Amino acid sequence: MKAPIYAPAEDTFLLADVLGKEQIENKAVLEIGCGSGFLTKLMAEKKAVVTAVDINPAAVEATKKLLSEEKLNGQVFLSDLFSNVAGKFDLIVFNPPYLPENEDDEVAGSDARYSGGRSGREIIERFVKESATHLGAGGKIMILISTLTGERETIALFEKFGFITRPIVRKKIDWEELVVIEASAHDI
């Protein structure tokens, strides 16, 4: 049985709004956790040089199929975060599983599409540690989190690894606030 793919939701659409305003034509962009391919398609339509990865083989196939159907260019392959990624990028985009693990919650329980581990930041922490080696000079990261993940804690994590961060947009939904954080390296 194939693992389920994360379907576009409020967080995806918020990140899409932000990416829609970015000047990314001819820029090397990497999407970590491409899921359905929604954001990958958007960036390819904006003529970015797109690389997209996911740990879920079904997500990789869905994204490849979407790009093919839309006659868009992009590399899509299997990778656990940066494990199979080479090179540097102008923009790295990540809509991670960010909800704190909760055994009583059917959505955020142990479902890899939603669960970011016990604190909600375990995957984000791995991402932050590995991202600097893949960020080109002048490059930036766009990551979406929830206030349930801990905004201050997430920003502190980026700063611990030498990034300058700023929340660039927020959206209140039901029980949480979604936040897109932009991060860039100090030495750029």
Helix or strand (DSSP H, E) at 158:
helix 151-160
In this structure, is residue 114 part of a structural domain?
yes
Contact 145, 98 (CB under 8 A): yes
Q: How many domains does the chain have?
A: 1
Q: Where are the alpha helices (DSSP H) in 21-133?
A: 38-45, 57-69, 122-131
Q: What is the pTM of this model?
A: 0.89
Give the pLDDT of residue 155.
94
Is residue 103 over pLDDT 60? Answer: no
- Per the structure, the complete domain to which residue 157 belongs is given by 28-185
Average pLDDT, the chain: 88
Structure tokens at 111: 């479902």
Condensed to tens digits (0 to 9), the pLDDT of residues 125-144 reads 899 999 989 999 999 999 99
Within-domain flag for 12: no
Residues 6+ apart with CB under 8 A from 121: 98, 149, 150, 153, 154, 157
Task: Specify if 34 maps to a domain.
Answer: yes
For position 175, which CATH number holds? 3.40.50.150
What would the pLDDT profile of 170-186 be if each residue is shown by its tens digit? 999 988 899 999 999 86
User: For residue 59, is it within any domain?
Assistant: yes
